[in-house]
């Protein structure tokens, strides 16, 4: 089975590959550079979900692919502070998108204030931790959980929520 992923970010690509592998489903994963159709830094669940769905749909439009995955990161305001959010979409040709969300944590104020003034989480995290390309590696969630839950691991969980729902739908339709 050929599965497209609408990103070239290794943390996302690995998560897709590892999730299918863990579930013993053989797939060829094809990373594709596609637009998310939302801002570089989505600021709500709705915008982040939209980005995930657009990424997946744009893969389907581009090539003869049966299933496409979109994974999108964003932030969400709350009474307790700004949290990271991550959403995934699995899109099958001719069917409605399957959607699932990932674990979230509240970001520290020094990160939050910079995001509220228009900066993007990726570069802000690199600056804060004095590292390069955190978004492609452990992610903000990895930094602030002391490496216990990485961005890849969080996306693997999102992928399992997507694949499980995909299998359930197939079962119900059979």
Ligand X SMILES: O=P(O)(O)OP(=O)(O)OP(=O)(O)OC[C@H]1O[C@@H](n2cnc3c(O)ncnc32)[C@H](O)[C@@H]1O
Q: How far is the CB of 108 from ligand X (least distance, A)?
A: 13
> Distance (Å, rounded) from C-alpha 122 to C-alpha 39?
13
CB under 8 Å to 95, separation ≥6 — which residues? 169
Q: Residues 16-45 vs ligand X: string with x where CB under 6 A? A: ------------------------xx----
Number of residues forming the site for ligand X (CB under 6 A): 20
> Distance (Å, rounded) from C-alpha 14 to C-alpha 29?
9
The nearer residue to ligand X, 136 or 169, going by C-beta atoms, is 136
The nearer residue to ligand X, 41 or 112, going by C-beta atoms, is 41
- Do residues 146 and 128 touch, judged by C-beta distance below 8 A? no
- Do residues 149 and 103 touch, judged by C-beta distance below 8 A? yes
> Distance (Å, rounded) from C-alpha 67 to C-alpha 4?
6
Q: How far is the CB of 73 from ligand X (least distance, A)?
A: 3
Q: Residues 100-119 vs ligand X: string with x where CB under 6 A? A: --------------------
How is residue 93 written in tokens? 């040709």
How is residue 124 written in tokens? 């802000």
Q: Residues 42-71 vs ligand X: string with x where CB under 6 A? A: ------------------------------
> Distance (Å, rounded) from C-alpha 145 to C-alpha 128?
15
Binding-site residue numbers for Mg(2+) are 64
**Footprint of ligand X (CB under 6 A):** 7-9, 12, 40-41, 72-74, 84, 120-122, 125, 134-135, 139-141, 151
């Amino acid at each position: 089975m050929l599965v497209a992923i609408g990103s070239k970010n290794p943390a996302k690509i690995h998560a897709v590959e590892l999730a299918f592998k863990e579930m013993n489903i053989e797939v060829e994963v094809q990373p594709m550079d596609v637009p998310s159709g939302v801002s570089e830094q989505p600021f709500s669940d709705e915008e982040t979900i939209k980005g995930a769905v657009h990424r997946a749909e744009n893969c389907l439009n581009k090539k003869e692919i049966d299933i496409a995955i979109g994974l999108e990161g964003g932030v969400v305001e709350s009474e307790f502070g700004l949290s990271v959010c991550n959403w995934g979409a699995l899109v099958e040709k001719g069917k409605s998108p399957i959607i699932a969300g990932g674990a979230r944590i509240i970001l520290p104020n020094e990160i939050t204030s910079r995001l509220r003034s228009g900066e993007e989480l990726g570069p802000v995290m690199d600056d804060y931790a004095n590292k390069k390309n955190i978004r492609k590696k452990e992610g903000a969630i990895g930094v602030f959980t002391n490496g216990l839950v990485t961005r890849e691991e969080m996306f693997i969980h999102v992928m399992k929520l997507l694949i499980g729902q995909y299998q359930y739908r197939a079962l119900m339709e059979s």
